[in-house]
A and B are shown apart, each in its own frame.
Chain A
C-alpha cells in the first residue's frame, strides 16, 4: 500500500527518481517516528502508574522514565539520519 502511494506520488512529482527518493525519505522518517512515539507513550504511562502507586519512589521513576524516553528517542534520531542521508546527502 505504502509502495503504491509512493509510486503514485512520485509520478505526480514528475521527476521520477528524485521524487521517489524524496518521498521514500519522507515516508521512512514518518514511519520511524511512529515506533518511538508508541514506546514513549508506554514508558510514560508506566512511570505515571508507578508514581501513583508509590509516590515516595517518584524520583526513581522519573529518573528511569527520562532515560527510557531518551533511549527510545534514539530510534527516531536514526530515522532522521536515514532521512537526511537518503534525501539530501
Chain B
C-alpha cells in the first residue's frame, strides 16, 4: 500500500521550496538592490527593493495557492494554479500602476530587478533541488524534499 504525502500546509514541498527561495532572495537580493542604488540613486534603491518584494511575494503566493488547492482536489489544483497565474499577473500589473506616477519610481531598475531576481533565484534554487533529488542522502535534515 502506498503512503500518501501529507496534505497539510506544514509539510508541503512547494512551500518549503518557496521559503528557501525567499531566504535566498533576502540574502542575495540586497546585492542587486545595491547595484541599482549605485546606478540610479535612491529612486533606484526604492524601485529595485519594491520589485524584489513583489517577486518574493509572488513566489510565496504561488506556493500558498498550490498548497491550498492540492488539499481539495486535482481539479481544484488545476483551477488554482491557472487562476493564481492570472491573479498574480494582475497583482503585478496593479502594483506597477499603483506606483508608476510617484516621484521615487524608476522603471528601468524595477524591470531589471523583476526579471533578474526571478530567474536567478529560480536557477539558484533548482541547483539545490536537483541535487537533493539526485542524491536524497545529501539533503539537509528536516527538509521537506
Interface, chain A (partner B; CB < 8 A): 33, 36-37, 40-41, 44-45, 48, 51-52, 54-56, 58-60, 62-67, 69-71, 73-74, 76-78, 80-81, 84-85, 88-89
B122 contacts A85, C-beta separation under 8 Å: no
Whether a CB of chain A sits under 8 angstroms from the CB of B31 is no
In the complex, the answer to whether B77 meets A48 with C-beta atoms within 8 Å is: yes
B111 close to A81 (CB less than 8 A) = yes
Q: Which of B85, B100, B122 makes the CB contact (< 8 A) with A67?
A: B122
Binary per-residue interface labels of chain B (1-26) against chain A in the complex, 1 for a CB within 8 Å, 0 otherwise: 01111000000111001100000000
Please, how many angstroms separate the alpha-carbon atoms of A59 and B7 in the complex? Answer: 10
Contact of B74 among A41, A51, A77 (CB under 8 A): A51
- In the complex with contacts A33-B89, A44-B77, A56-B3 CB distance below 8 A: yes
Determine the main DSSP class of B at the interface with A: helix
Residue in contact with B119 in the complex, picked from A54, A66, A74, CB distance below 8 Å = A74
| Chain A residues touching B, majority SS | helix
The answer to whether B77 and A77 have CB atoms under 8 Å apart is no
Chain A residue numbers with a CB within 8 Å of B2 are 54-56
Please classify how large the interface on chain B is, using the bins under 10, 10 to 19, 20 to 34, 35 or more.
35 or more
Known A44-B77, A76-B89, A85-B107: A59·B145 in contact at CB below 8 Å: yes
* Contact with A85, one of B14, B82, B111, B118 (Cβ below 8 angstroms): B111
Query: In the complex, which of the residues B4, B59, B82 contacts A70, with contact meaning CB atoms closer than 8 Å?
Result: B59
- Whether B62 is near chain A, meaning CB under 8 Å from some CB there, is yes
